[in-house]
Structure formats: C-alpha cells, structure tokens
C-alpha cells in the first residue's frame, strides 16, 4: 500500500492534479454519479494574468468506463460568473493574480446529462474521467507559459474540487505576415 500511495503522490506532482482529488475520485461510483445534480454542476477556470479566454464554447467531457463499451458525454457550458481573484501557487511561491471564469451546463445540456444518468442507473461504472476544454484569446501576446487552475463542483453544497492546480501551458506564438 505504501507503493500505491507513493505512486499517487508521483502522479499528482507530475500532472498538477492534487493528491486529495485523486483520493476523492478513487472511491467515486455509479451511485455518486447518479447523485450529481446537473443544474448545480459547474466548472471554474482560473487564468493567470494577462491570459484571457476566447469566445469559443467551453465544454465538459465525461469518459465513463463500464464493463461494456466506454460512454462519452460532451456538454457545452455557458458562462455564469467572471471575477478577479488570487490563487495560491504553493508554499514557496507567491500567490497568482488572474481571472476566475465560472461555467454551468445550459438548460438543454442539463436534460442530456440527466438522460445519461438514467441510462447508467443499472450499469457499474469502473472509472470516470472529467475533461474541460477551452481556448485562450489569440489576440493577446503571451509569455512562453500561462498557469491554469481548473475546479469542479458537483453540487451547490460541496466545495470546488481542484482538478488541475497551477499547470503551466506552453504557449506557441505564431506570427503571420
């Protein structure tokens, strides 16, 4: 079991996924999935200054592995809140200034999510992966890297779960004449 804990710490440090998130989702099952309220499901994306999100849609994807074929759900999200914020970059690093963007499922996507929950009510989920897709505004000139945090809330009573903590995105600048 020490090897498993050491492996989890290694994965968490390499992938910018906090160990607490790995542990929280390790026991996630079909009952937990059925209890998600899609009307309160939200994603927060924090971008370090001067980064900004583009106007392209933000999406939340689920990969649910069952005994049969994997099930993929893609859900478009709508912006619900944007505010200036500061996040911790760790014990030995200064806090990071930036903008927090909050997104929620559209009304149509809430219905689609509930349909998936009903379809899966009799299946055993062996593994679940959340993915958030977004694009940076290309009109801004960036440094070589931008730090990003991604948070997920699965109901209005629970705190946000940190999915990605201070990951550095490499920025490739493309110039056209």
Mean pLDDT for each consecutive 10-residue tract of the chain (177 residues)?
A: 38 48 56 83 91 90 84 92 89 88 95 89 80 84 78 80 81 51
The two three-digit tokens of residue 156, written as one number: 């209005």
Residues 164, 87: Cα–Cα separation, whole Å: 12
Query: Taking the model in full, what pTM does it have?
Result: 0.79
Residue 22 and residue 12 in contact, taking contact as beta carbons nearer than 8 Å: yes
Q: What is the pLDDT of residue 143?
A: 66
Q: Which is nearest to 22 in space by CA: 33, 39, 6?
A: 6
The two three-digit tokens of residue 97, written as one number: 């200034």
Q: What is the pLDDT of residue 176?
A: 44
Q: What is the pLDDT of residue 27?
A: 57
Q: What is the pLDDT of residue 26?
A: 55
Size of the chain, expressed as the number of residues it contains: 177
Q: What is the pLDDT of residue 30?
A: 62
Q: What is the pLDDT of residue 21?
A: 52
Q: What is the pLDDT of residue 11?
A: 41
Residues 6 or more apart from 58 whose CB is under 8 A from it?
A: 43, 45, 76, 77, 79, 101, 103, 132, 133, 134
Residue 119: asked if its preceding bond is cis (omega within 30°), the reply is no
């Amino acid at each position: 079991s020490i090897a498993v804990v050491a492996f989890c710490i290694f994965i968490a440090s390499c992938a910018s996924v906090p160990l607490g998130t790995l542990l929280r989702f390790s026991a996630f099952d079909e009952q937990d999935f059925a209890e998600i309220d899609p009307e309160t499901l939200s994603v927060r994306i924090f971008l370090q200054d001067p980064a900004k999100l583009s106007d392209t849609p933000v999406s939340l994807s689920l990969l649910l592995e069952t005994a049969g074929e994997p099930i993929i759900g893609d859900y478009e999200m709508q912006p619900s809140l944007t505010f200036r914020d500061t996040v911790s970059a760790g014990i030995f690093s200064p806090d990071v200034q930036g903008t927090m963007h909050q997104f929620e499922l559209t009304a149509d996507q809430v219905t689609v999510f509930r349909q998936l929950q009903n379809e899966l009510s009799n299946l055993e989920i062996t593994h679940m992966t959340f993915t958030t897709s977004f694009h940076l505004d290309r009109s801004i000139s960036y440094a070589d890297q931008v730090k990003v945090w991604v948070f997920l809330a699965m109901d209005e009573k629970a705190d946000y779960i940190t999915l990605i903590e201070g990951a550095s995105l490499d920025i490739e600048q493309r110039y056209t004449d």
